[in-house]
Structure 1
């Protein structure tokens, strides 16, 4: 038993940084008014200043202008807003065709499935055995009726990074808008909209040691998009609902605290984890591309054992990881991502996702791998699938 809980599921959500909390506190207790213009009362003006300073920080991190950032409740709302808002704006002008990849996160994938039921045509583009998008298939799928392409920057489960610049250039040449879900790459992998012609980007604070329940959508200036949620006139009348000012301030602080040096440290933990496991445990498979992946993700299948059993045994020893996908933790279904890269149900159910964060150490990695070695040996000893291997 480790002397504390070792949390290695940072792709699901991260621990809030205390410095983020300190930045948020004044907007709960001292500057708690709604954001008002310069013609309002002083507390409302101060709240507005905090909101706009946060917007400037998020915009700067992308090479964007502040007017191109809309704050939301998180990546799910951002992706829904991007996809549904653009399709509504272009329905009569462009067409009712949307393209997504087969391994998108549910905020995009299930949005596409809902639109399909409503009569929209959806093409689901395949990926190779490492999760890399089939660019020829994408290019051939785009027609004059295509209103939007939505391809994630990084996969939520196996960490594979897409060649977003090439994808954006394809869409740009064919005059089709591109949305990307950057929830699992934002601040960890460079993304500059002045260099990559992506039109919409979903982001969230909860994966970078920021608060939960706040995110943002980058909307390139001039992108046609309808307001998809009725109510007030917040966010320059692009999103209805009271702004979460403490959350946006915390989001901005989390962005400021994320450094290249920290990202390289996470990469070193990832590489060390992969090396130790492959050196010391037989019958394992790395899921995703070895180098073209997010620095904080290692997803590995341990053959002839169930990932659910491993996670339960690890939990009893004080370790937190996910199996298959965090979104499948209450389901017996195989991961659509592992199946999408050509894996079978055994490979999907035997996978563990390790995602590293600011508060992890090399000692954490050593401890969990030592524990996994024992657990895998015990489980394989009673597995009929492992006999004779």
Structure 2
């Protein structure tokens, strides 16, 4: 019997477009395996946060069509997701998608889906805290020297003095898709201040990091039947800095699946350790820089991109697995996760 799925897509997020593109690819792949997956509904969260529900095919793909359907308020939409006889597969990226917000809603409202724990998502969305945790848990893993800056307390000259000479990278601390990420080969106070100012309308924390001039790798983690599947590690080859445009423009970067070696085995071990330590759910992706004999941690993603050109589907395909396999693994893991008893009454006498 086919597993019934509701796809949750869009979101009030700076990564709304990534969600839409991933949804189109995931939808096409699931519809290609009707004996295993039945798409029962699509719930679209538009850019303003309104909900649009579709409960029968043909399933909408374009944004202007997704804006149709049955419009619901937040309470009614959450109740429909909770009461639906289906597993909710969330494709909500970034803010209000994989930052702990929807994970908390799912927990409180009893929505069954691939949301995973609140803490895992909240940590993975915070690059600064990720790095602190990774360095503490894994002594052999390096992290770039970094400073977290906020509006009102930012002094570009002081940041440059503290981080020392050399190229810097400026990025939002709690956003994905390499949005608003800038590499400064020869940073000056004015250039650094301008890069940080670009971040603040979208994130009140900017991360300024030393630039590590090495080879960039991405390591997927995937659990199937409670056990890790060793996915191939991918190397990202670009002619310059691998930023937002390079990630999302065809031909700007090459993705090469790396042969097994000491570095790929270390990255996989680091990734699986961090996945377990933070109790991530089913799948994730971890990014690294390899420079000399050192491995530098960049970030984790609890919902890797699932677009047709994304790295994670390539890794899955190399092991003979499909998007349907991924979804069914998420269903299986969610069903096997023990529920916590939350009722414990006690007397208070004072």
Measured against the shorter chain, the TM-score band is under 0.3
**TM-score normalised by structure 1 residue count:** 0.25
**TM-score normalised by structure 2 residue count:** 0.26
Higher helix content, 1 or 2: 1
Higher strand content, 1 or 2: 2
